[in-house]
Structure 1
Amino acid sequence: MKTNDNRLQGLLGLLGLLGLLGLLGILEDLDESFLRRFYPDDYPNYDLP
């Protein structure tokens, strides 16, 4: 039973870590599009939406 508990805890930890990384990635994308919109001169490689 104890090994099963450890496996479940590890799985939940891994899912939490993936969720956190995904959230950070989403925030980073939003930040980049925000910067692109307000400072187009600093991001000449991107087309404005």
Structure 2
Amino acid sequence: GDVAIHQKFGEGVVTKVIDDTIIEINFYEHGKKSILAKHFMLSKKGAARA
């Protein structure tokens, strides 16, 4: 999956997308978390922020 970056949890791999609203991410240092896809602290690695 894609690599996501969260301002608090760091980098992780996207493992599942649920209804385009929830993303399940396995963070390298914090384990698996489910986060709202549009959460302001979350971005795709390599993507420019708007």
TM-score range, shorter chain: under 0.3
What TM-score does the superposition give when structure 1 sets the normalisation length?
0.17
Pick the structure with greater CA Rg: 1
Higher-RCO chain (CA-CA 8 Å, sequence separation at least 6): 2
What TM-score does the superposition give when structure 2 sets the normalisation length?
0.17
Bigger strand fraction: 2
